[in-house]
Chain A
Amino acid sequence: MSERSQTVPTPEGEYFESTRFAGLSFLLGSVALVALVLCALGAVVNPHQFSYSWLFAFAFFFTLCAGCFFWTIVHHATDAEWTVVVRRQLENIAALLAVLALLFVPILLLRHHLYAWMDIPPGHEAALDFKRAYLDFNFFLIRAIVFLGYFIVASQLLRRFSVRQDRDGNPQFTIWMRRVSFASLPMFALCLTFGAFDWLMSLNYHWFSTMFGVYIFAGAAGSSMSLLVLVITALRQAGYLKDVVTLEHYHIMGKWMLAFCIFWAYIGFGQYMLIWYANIPEETQFFIARNTQSWWALSMLLVVGRFFGPFAILLLRSIKKHPHRLCIVAGWIVFMQMLDMYLIVLPALHGTGVHVSIWDLLSLIAIGATLGFVYLRLVPRTSLFPVRDPRLIESLKLVN
């Protein structure tokens, strides 16, 4: 049954008091600063290892933020109701893509350590010469600018329209956001796919898979929904959104986590099984590197931890409607997304087995703390939910 009566008054906007969390903000800022300085040191001391560590951390946070952007555009394109009350946080996280664009710069600077194809001159390897038109640094750079530029412009535009609507409630903004989202859907698919090809798949320029873009998307969508659960619960814990985000919303977020847990497994299994079954050397090399040596244990952990565990748990309604229990699953899924990105990036460097490096951890801390710091600066600027969205009442009255 619904938790709410049929007539729900429009709540006033809720505002995050930055002064209450000044300590946390300061802590994150300081940690980010120190970690970034240490990372700069790592780029000098051990550039080869550091470049892979940084790419891993970048890919992890990029997929989370791009996933939140995806949920924002899907909300507008499908004219959904339930998302309204959590949309502002999706917009805030997606806005961090602008920061991530800056954090992409080290990858460009350290590109020669990451992408072997950049150092092989033409005429030395026929397999590479076939694809020179695509694997060319200038083109790579242009593509990166286009992909990141698109994510920045679209996410900022959507957030700006949404915030502007808070002021006057003009329904025209809803229509504009819908239009931006429609146009964004194909652009998102192409930018995420070719971004994944460029930044991750081309770590081994021999390997290819048509499914790779969809695989990255599946992980991004599921883990970003989990991140949203964590963020919303943290805000509720701090005393915000208590009368706005209900257990019904948690139930839906849990259902989407379950759906994308299954979808990720479906896509991952499809890609793995077809490559395993056909057994063609240029394709199997990717999985051989990840299924042998000590990498095997991590790969198994991913299969069990990213699918079987959360799948069984998320089937239970009692978990989906219990914020704290759901948070445990959500945190685990986000952790598994990190493992997934680790397994995509690091075996390209350590072919002989797992080799955990301090730079892996420092890169994660540096990017994570930077994004956390900027997020805390963004949140107080607007209401914590779109206070004058035309669908707000319907979202508040949500019943599953």
Chain B
Amino acid sequence: MDAAPTAPETIKEAERQIARVPLVLHRRNFSWLTERISGVVEQPAPRWWWVAFTITGSAATFGLFCIGYLISTGVGTWGNNIPVGWAWGITNFVFWIGIGHAGTLISAILFLLRQKWRTSINRSAEAMTLFAVICAAIFPGIHVGRFWMAWYLAPIPSNWAIWQNFRSALMWDVFAVSTYFTVSVLFWYTGLIPDLATLRDRATTRVRKLLFGVFACGWRGSNRNWRHYEMAYLLLAGLSTPLVLSVHSVVSFDFATTILPTWHTTIFPPYFVAGAIFGGFAMVLTLLLPCRAMFKLHDVITAQHIDKMAKIILLTGSFVGYAYTMEFFIAWYSGSSYERFGSWNRVFGPYWWYWWFGMLFCNVLSPQLFWFRWCRRNVLVVFFVAMCVNAGMWFERFIIIVGGLHRDFLPSSWRMFHPTWVDIWTYIGTLGIFTSLFLLFVRFLPMIAMSEVKTAVPEADPHYTTPPGIQSVSPGGKERPR
């Protein structure tokens, strides 16, 4: 057992396997990074961008039309019924809130853990977070039917005599999500300031110079600027970290505080948080893999980054599988006939394929491919699993919500849920809004945090000296083959 092979080639291979790989490949220097990342914003939009934006913009527009139709006509345009209620809206709300988790995890928790690999992906993940939360916020706003009364959700002075129910988990949700959104915006914007200044300094038109100049808040890159910036960033990371846990925990309270079978289970808070990070990372990969290919960012978003994200998906997906196991085991162990029926109904009831395909295959089994290195290193496999997880997490929310409601305590009240075309197109519309906003972000702001990536290259070390015979690659220099 203790004897390891000592042949030189075996040792060499082992050393190769454990060697640290640079986070930016091919010795790209500071200048190359600035040129390549700013170039995405400064060059004319490629044709594929216009095609994609037309499609997503059309979906978003039709989604907004559906919302207008809902508000003008009434909630009867949705497939809501008794006992299921507005299941579609809640499913979409939870789905989008979940997507919005990876950004803050990457920007805050990975920052506190000193994980430098986050620098290549944090900016776009944070932007994605904001857009996902915007999509999520649409649903509680419009489900009330009388959309113009949605301000009742906001904190209101008591002398207005509008008595909100602070004992309701739905009310806690409003506070949790709005706090999360506010801090995420601040965090994202703070990180953007040095890069906005870079774009300002490179701007060739007055309008760009003015706009980037205003938003760069007079950044000069001085020692004092950096000192304040880094302290602000650290404090925001500290503030954001509990928010990553709190938001989806509070969302899970919407369900777990009830006494409804399959909803009331104590593992819901960490299970929802893990599921959210799981779904969020899948969406980051879904968006970044095409961007990486289209904008030729392989040296910045490397196979190593994808590998690490795949490992996080494997970890969180396995925790989700653990939570499913606990739910089933305790439902059985509790001896409660309602809990047992609820679990059985989830697997063999009318929505059985949602469970088998969505929860089991997409969420638990497909990420297990990431145990194998070649799967984590194969972009097509990674993209396939990411798409499975995107779908699986939506199905999971649907089966939790509808599955818990459609079989009421009285069998005479049992009823299936059927979405209407307005339901379906509103959801597709939010997908359109999300992707449109992301495409606009990619076009108008640096999608990779230039200033942060530069801290991850060897030249950032003040003691760094270029090894003899090696030159870093400047923008005008000859590109090395990949």
| B245 at the binding interface (Cβ < 8 Å) | yes
| B253 at the binding interface (Cβ < 8 Å) | yes
CA distance A301 to B264 in the complex (A): 28
Minimum CB–CB distance for A165 against chain B, Å: 8
| A26 at the binding interface (Cβ < 8 Å) | no
B270: chain A residues at CB < 8 Å are 211, 214, 266-267, 270
Contact B6 A170 (CB under 8 A): yes
| B278 at the binding interface (Cβ < 8 Å) | no
B17: chain A residues at CB < 8 Å are 171, 175
Minimum CB–CB distance for B133 against chain A, Å: 21
| A174 at the binding interface (Cβ < 8 Å) | yes
| A19 at the binding interface (Cβ < 8 Å) | no
| B371 at the binding interface (Cβ < 8 Å) | yes
Minimum CB–CB distance for A154 against chain B, Å: 13
Residue of B nearest to A211 (CB): B266
Minimum CB–CB distance for A174 against chain B, Å: 5
Contact B11 A209 (CB under 8 A): no
A214: chain B residues at CB < 8 Å are 267, 270
Contact B266 A280 (CB under 8 A): no
Question: Do A131 and B333 contact each other (CB < 8 Å), given the known contacts A266-B269, A280-B259?
Answer: yes
| A161 at the binding interface (Cβ < 8 Å) | yes
Q: Which of A157, A186, A193, A274 contacts B257 (CB 8 A)?
A: A274
| B18 at the binding interface (Cβ < 8 Å) | yes
Question: Do A160 and B2 contact each other (CB < 8 Å), given the known contacts A130-B335, A210-B266?
Answer: yes
Q: Which of B2, B112, B269, B333 contacts A270 (CB 8 A)?
A: B269
CA distance A214 to B323 in the complex (A): 10
Q: Which of B1, B11, B266 contacts A271 (CB 8 A)?
A: B266
**Digit string of B95-128 for contact with A (CB within 8 Å is 1, else 0)?**
0000000000000000010100000000000000
| A105 at the binding interface (Cβ < 8 Å) | no
CA distance A174 to B269 in the complex (A): 35
B264: chain A residues at CB < 8 Å are 274, 278, 280
| B390 at the binding interface (Cβ < 8 Å) | no
| B129 at the binding interface (Cβ < 8 Å) | no
Q: Which of A170, A185, A213, A400 contacts B11 (CB 8 A)?
A: A170
Contact B330 A210 (CB under 8 A): yes
Contact B245 A266 (CB under 8 A): yes
Question: Do A127 and B266 contact each other (CB < 8 Å), given the known contacts A160-B2, A171-B14, A210-B327?
Answer: no
Q: Find residues 48-100 in chain B having any chain A CB closer than 8 Å to their own CB.
A: none
Minimum CB–CB distance for A125 against chain B, Å: 10
B112: chain A residues at CB < 8 Å are 255
Minimum CB–CB distance for B2 against chain A, Å: 5
Question: Do A171 and B333 contact each other (CB < 8 Å), given the known contacts A182-B371, A211-B267, A274-B253?
Answer: no
**Digit string of B255-267 for contact with A (CB within 8 Å is 1, else 0)?**
0111100001111
Residue of A nearest to B319 (CB): A189
Question: Do A171 and B266 contact each other (CB < 8 Å), given the known contacts A208-B330, A210-B326?
Answer: no
CA distance A134 to B267 in the complex (A): 21
Contact A172 B14 (CB under 8 A): yes
Number of interface residues of A (CB under 8 A): 48
CA distance A54 to B26 in the complex (A): 60
Contact B18 A208 (CB under 8 A): no
Question: Do A134 and B333 contact each other (CB < 8 Å), given the known contacts A161-B2, A172-B5?
Answer: yes
Q: Which of A172, A271, A278 has the most CB of B within 10 A?
A: A172
B4: chain A residues at CB < 8 Å are 164, 168, 170, 172-173, 176
Contact A164 B2 (CB under 8 A): yes
Contact B333 A208 (CB under 8 A): yes
Q: Find residues 305-353 in chain A having any chain B CB closer than 8 Å to their own CB.
A: none
**Digit string of B459-477 for contact with A (CB within 8 Å is 1, else 0)?**
0000100000000000000
Q: Find residues 319-350 in chain B having any chain A CB closer than 8 Å to their own CB.
A: 322-323, 326-327, 330, 332-336
CA distance A170 to B18 in the complex (A): 12
B6: chain A residues at CB < 8 Å are 168, 170
CA distance A182 to B376 in the complex (A): 15
| B249 at the binding interface (Cβ < 8 Å) | yes
Minimum CB–CB distance for B11 against chain A, Å: 6
A372: chain B residues at CB < 8 Å are none
Residue of B nearest to A133 (CB): B332
Contact A209 B333 (CB under 8 A): no
| A235 at the binding interface (Cβ < 8 Å) | no
CA distance A309 to B17 in the complex (A): 44
Residue of B nearest to A163 (CB): B2
Residue of A nearest to B255 (CB): A274
Question: Do A390 and B267 contact each other (CB < 8 Å), given the known contacts A170-B6, A210-B326?
Answer: no
Residue of A nearest to B238 (CB): A315
A171: chain B residues at CB < 8 Å are 11, 14-15, 17-18
Q: Find residues 12-60 in chain B having any chain A CB closer than 8 Å to their own CB.
A: 14-15, 17-18
Residue of B nearest to A157 (CB): B1
A208: chain B residues at CB < 8 Å are 330, 333-334
| B179 at the binding interface (Cβ < 8 Å) | no
| B436 at the binding interface (Cβ < 8 Å) | no
| A275 at the binding interface (Cβ < 8 Å) | yes
| B268 at the binding interface (Cβ < 8 Å) | yes
| A282 at the binding interface (Cβ < 8 Å) | yes
| A110 at the binding interface (Cβ < 8 Å) | no
Contact A282 B334 (CB under 8 A): yes
Minimum CB–CB distance for A193 against chain B, Å: 7
B15: chain A residues at CB < 8 Å are 171, 390
B249: chain A residues at CB < 8 Å are 266, 270
CA distance A213 to B329 in the complex (A): 12
Q: Which of A171, A173, A213, A279 has the most CB of B within 10 A?
A: A171
**Digit string of A114-132 for contact with B (CB within 8 Å is 1, else 0)?**
0000000000001100110
Question: Do A170 and B258 contact each other (CB < 8 Å), given the known contacts A189-B322, A262-B242?
Answer: no
Minimum CB–CB distance for B424 against chain A, Å: 33
| A138 at the binding interface (Cβ < 8 Å) | no
Contact A209 B14 (CB under 8 A): no
Question: Do A131 and B18 contact each other (CB < 8 Å), given the known contacts A171-B11, A270-B266?
Answer: no
Minimum CB–CB distance for A380 against chain B, Å: 19
Contact A175 B333 (CB under 8 A): no
B259: chain A residues at CB < 8 Å are 278-280
| B435 at the binding interface (Cβ < 8 Å) | no
Minimum CB–CB distance for A279 against chain B, Å: 8
Contact A131 B322 (CB under 8 A): no
| B10 at the binding interface (Cβ < 8 Å) | yes
| A357 at the binding interface (Cβ < 8 Å) | no
Residue of A nearest to B246 (CB): A266
Minimum CB–CB distance for B173 against chain A, Å: 15
CA distance A214 to B269 in the complex (A): 11
CA distance A190 to B323 in the complex (A): 11
A278: chain B residues at CB < 8 Å are 256-259, 264
Question: Do A210 and B5 contact each other (CB < 8 Å), given the known contacts A131-B333, A131-B335, A171-B15?
Answer: no
B335: chain A residues at CB < 8 Å are 126-127, 130-131
Q: Find residues 265-287 in chain A having any chain B CB closer than 8 Å to their own CB.
A: 266-267, 270-271, 273-275, 277-280, 282
B256: chain A residues at CB < 8 Å are 274, 278
Q: List 16 A-B contacts (CB under 8 A).
A: A160-B2, A171-B18, A172-B5, A174-B18, A182-B371, A186-B318, A189-B322, A190-B322, A210-B326, A210-B330, A266-B245, A266-B269, A271-B266, A273-B253, A280-B259, A400-B114
Known: A131-B332, A171-B11, A280-B259. 11 other contacts (CB 8 A): A161-B2, A164-B4, A170-B4, A170-B6, A173-B4, A186-B318, A190-B322, A208-B330, A266-B269, A270-B268, A274-B257
Interchain residue pairs A-B with the least CB separation, the first 10: A130-B335, A210-B267, A211-B266, A171-B14, A270-B269, A172-B4, A210-B326, A172-B14, A277-B257, A164-B2
